[in-house]
Chain A
Amino acid sequence: MATMTGGSKRPEGRGGDRPQGGPGGGPGGKKKFFYRRKRVCKFCVEKLEYIDYKDVKMLQQFIPERGKILPRRISGTCALHQRKLQNAIKRARIAALLPFATD
Chain B
Amino acid sequence: MRTYEVLFILSPQVPEEEATTLTTEFKRVAESLGATLKNEEAWGRRRLAYPINKSNEGIYHLLVYETTGGLSELDRRMKNSDRVLRHMIVRVDEDIKRADKLAKKNPKKERVRPAAPQAYPPAVPAEEVMPAGSEDAQA
- A44 interface hit (Cβ, 8 Å): yes
Q: Which residue of A lies closest to B138 (CB)?
A: A73
The number of chain A residues with a CB under 8 A from chain B is 26
B131–A38 CB distance below 8 A: no
Q: Which one, B11-19, B23-31, B44-52, B66-74, is touching chain A? A: B44-52
Q: Which residue of A lies closest to B105 (CB)?
A: A49
Measured CB to CB, the closest approach of chain B to A15, in angstroms, equals 17
Size category of the B interface is 20 to 34
A96–B58 CB distance below 8 A: yes
A interface vs B, CB < 8 Å? Answer: 1, 4-5, 32-33, 36-38, 40, 44, 47, 49-50, 53-54, 73, 84, 91, 93-100
Interface residues of chain A: helix, strand, loop or mixed (majority):
loop
Measured CB to CB, the closest approach of chain B to A70, in angstroms, equals 16
B interface vs A, CB < 8 Å? Answer: 7, 9, 48-50, 52, 58, 62, 85-86, 88, 90, 95-96, 98-100, 102-103, 106, 109, 116, 119-120, 124, 127-128, 130-131, 134-135, 138-139
Q: In the docked arrangement, what's the CA distance between A91 and B49, Å?
A: 13
- Chain B residues positioned under 8 Å from A96 (CB to CB): 9, 48-50, 52, 58, 85-86
Q: Which residue of B lies closest to A94 (CB)?
A: B88
- Chain B residues positioned under 8 Å from A93 (CB to CB): 49
- Chain B residues positioned under 8 Å from A54 (CB to CB): 7, 62
Q: In the docked arrangement, what's the CA distance between A95 and B113, Å?
A: 37
Q: In the docked arrangement, what's the CA distance between A4 and B135, Å?
A: 11
Q: Given A96-B48, A99-B50, answer yes or no on A49-B135 (Cβ-Cβ < 8 Å).
A: no
- Chain A residues positioned under 8 Å from B128 (CB to CB): 33
A1–B139 CB distance below 8 A: yes
Taking A5-B138, A96-B49 as known contacts, 16 extra A-B pairs with beta carbons closer than 8 A to each other, sorted by chain A number, are A1-B135, A4-B139, A32-B131, A33-B128, A36-B134, A37-B127, A38-B116, A44-B109, A49-B100, A50-B96, A93-B49, A95-B9, A96-B48, A96-B52, A96-B85, A99-B49
